[in-house]
């Protein structure tokens, strides 16, 4: 099983600023493999279903603006929003998929400073 830890819990920024969200994957057993190919990022606004932003750690989903980007270093994943637009203030979740269990992280709230 893989545990996902997201930081920070809350990120307070102004429109136009850069947002950097982290997701760290930790296997609970030494034999569990953390696939860097199967990490996704979702955006969720209040009262709505999550929306897929990034899959495979760094691939933008269809229709996602290029201000959203994903990267990976080892088992540390990053979602970057280059310049925050008013509609980007939301909760962001990382997810590990394509494995025995499909795990979500606890989320990072990006709110307006």
User: Of the two residues 89 and 96, which places its CB atom closer to another protein in the complex?
Assistant: 96
Number of Cβ within 10 Å of residue 78's Cβ equals 18
Q: Specify whether the CB–CB gap between 42 and 48 falls below 8 A.
A: no
* Position 55 contacts another protein (CB under 8 A): yes
Please pick, from the candidates 24, 32, 51, 72, the single residue that binds another protein as defined by CB under 8 A.
51
* Position 29 contacts another protein (CB under 8 A): no
Contacts with another protein by CB under 8 A: the residue count is 27
- Nearest approach in angstroms of CB 108 to another protein is 10
Please pick, from the candidates 8, 16, 65, 98, the single residue that binds another protein as defined by CB under 8 A.
98
Binding site for another protein (CB under 8 A): 1, 37-38, 40, 42, 44, 48-52, 55-56, 61-62, 93, 95, 97-98, 100-107
């Amino acid at each position: 099983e893989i545990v996902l830890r997201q930081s920070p819990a809350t990120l307070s920024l102004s429109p136009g600023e850069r947002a950097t969200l982290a997701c760290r994957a930790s296997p609970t057993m030494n034999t569990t493999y953390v696939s860097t190919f199967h990490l996704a990022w979702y955006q969720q606004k209040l009262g709505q279903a999550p929306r897929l932003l990034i899959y495979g750690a760094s691939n933008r989903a269809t229709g996602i603006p290029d201000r959203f980007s994903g990267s990976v270093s080892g088992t540390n994943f990053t979602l970057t929003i280059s310049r925050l637009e008013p509609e980007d203030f939301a909760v962001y979740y990382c997810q590990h998929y394509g494995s025995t269990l499909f795990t979500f992280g606890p989320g990072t709230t990006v709110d307006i400073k």
